[in-house]
Structure 1
Amino acid sequence: MELGRCRITVYFEDPFWVGLYERSSEDGYEVCKITFGAEPKDYEVYAALLEHWRELTFSPALPAERAEVRRQSAKRVRREVKRQLSGPPVGTKAQQALKLQREEGKEARKAMGREAKETEERRKFELRQEKKKEKHRGH
């Protein structure tokens, strides 16, 4: 049986509200950043997750420690929620995962740009060769 945990944190990152969707399972820890415009209501966050579930791009999976499933008392759960609300919104692990995702996107864009540049240079070279041949045909 595969156990997984997910959590969404909504916080204000000037000038937008941002949702940080974290999920961890046996495969690893993944993070996705969702940008909202104005401050979203609870039902708007939920609707956005349901509507755009397939388009979410998660970071590459980082190895995650195995989560223990155990029942906690209601008071302990309330204290934990209060501690999370008062602390900083984004954890270090989430920041590392987002950084890794940005770096991979940057590498992909560079590769695509490099390939487009080579294709354009090849096209220009062929065009120059054709022009040379055209000049020598009449003589």
Structure 2
Amino acid sequence: MQVITSITLTVLHDGQFWVGIFEHADEGRYGACRVVFGAVEPADVELLEFVVRRWATLSFDMAADPSATADAVLSHANPKRRQREARKLVERAGVGTKAQQA
């Protein structure tokens, strides 16, 4: 029996803080976890230390098969309905920065 496990860490800057997205795939299940590192970009050594010390404490939201559930939701929805819902969300949230909205 072959067990395939995949672990990915993506570090990005969200405009204010450096954020790490941990992804964990194991035996057909997928989980993700978001960790905020702070305002200063973490060094490679700091990231490695974080993984070694805190990996066991991360809480992953595991899903059975993310592609199947996402495709099932999207394939059954009417494209016109999705377009209307997207338009409503944009109108409610507004487009652009606060200065552009003023």
Q: State the TM-score, normalized to the length of structure 1.
A: 0.43
1:50 aligns with 2:52: yes
Q: Which runs of 5+ in 2 are unaligned?
A: 71-102
| Whole-angstrom CA distance in 2 between matches of 1:3 and 1:36 | 29
Look at both structures and tell me which one has the larger radius of gyration over its CA atoms.
Answer: 1
How far apart are residue 60 of structure 1 and its match? 2.6
Identity score, percent: 30
Superposition pairs of residues 24-103 of structure 1, within 5 angstroms:
24-37=25-38, 38-63=40-65
| Whole-angstrom CA distance in 1 between matches of 2:11 and 2:17 | 11
Superposition pairs of residues 13-32 of structure 1, within 5 angstroms:
13-32=14-33
Q: Can you list the C-alpha shifts for 1:96-137, whole angstroms capped at 9, x where unaligned?
A: xxxxxxxxxxxxxxxxxxxxxxxxxxxxxxxxxxxxxxxxxx
How far apart are residue 22 of structure 1 and its match? 0.6
| Whole-angstrom CA distance in 2 between matches of 1:4 and 1:55 | 18
| Whole-angstrom CA distance in 1 between matches of 2:32 and 2:25 | 9
How far apart are residue 25 of structure 1 and its match? 1.7
| Whole-angstrom CA distance in 2 between matches of 1:24 and 1:43 | 24
How far apart are residue 61 of structure 1 and its match? 2.1
List 4+ stretches of structure 1 deviating above 4 A.
Answer: none
Q: How many residue pairs are counted as aligned between the two chains?
A: 66
| Whole-angstrom CA distance in 1 between matches of 2:14 and 2:32 | 17
- Hey, which of these two has a bigger chunk of helix by percent? 1
| Whole-angstrom CA distance in 1 between matches of 2:10 and 2:62 | 19
SS at match of 2:63: coil
| Whole-angstrom CA distance in 2 between matches of 1:64 and 1:6 | 16
> Could you tell me which residue of structure 2 aligns to residue 110 of structure 1?
none
| Whole-angstrom CA distance in 1 between matches of 2:45 and 2:61 | 25
